[in-house]
Amino acid sequence: MKKRNLRYNAGMKWIIVGLGNPGGEYAKTRHNAGRIVIEQFRKKYNFSSWEYKKTYDALASYGEIAGNEVVLLEPETYMNQSGKSLLTLVKSPDQAAQLIVIHDDADLPTGDWRSARDRGAGGQNGVVSIIAAIKTRDFYRFRVGVAPAITLDAPRRKAGDFVLEKFTVEELSTIKSRSIGIAERIVFLITNGHEKFKDTIKKVRSQDLKS
Note the pLDDT tens digit of each residue in 155-178. 566 656 778 899 999 999 999 999
Q: What is the mean pLDDT of the chain?
A: 87
Return d(Cα 75, Cα 79) in angstroms, integer. 8
| 66-70, 94-98, 119-123: range with lowest mean pLDDT | 119-123
Read off the pLDDT of each residue in 200-207 and give the average, rounded to a whole number: 54
What CATH class is the domain 14-208?
Answer: alpha beta
Structural domain boundaries in the chain: 14-208
DSSP state of 164: T
Q: Max Cα separation, the chain?
A: 53
Q: Please, which pLDDT band fits residue 204 given cuts at 50, 70 and 90? A: low
Query: What does the pLDDT read at residue 120?
Result: 87
- List of E strands, the chain: 14-18, 51-53, 58-65, 68-75, 99-109, 113-117, 140-147
31 tagged catalytic:
yes
Question: Catalytic one among 17, 19, 29, 31?
Answer: 31
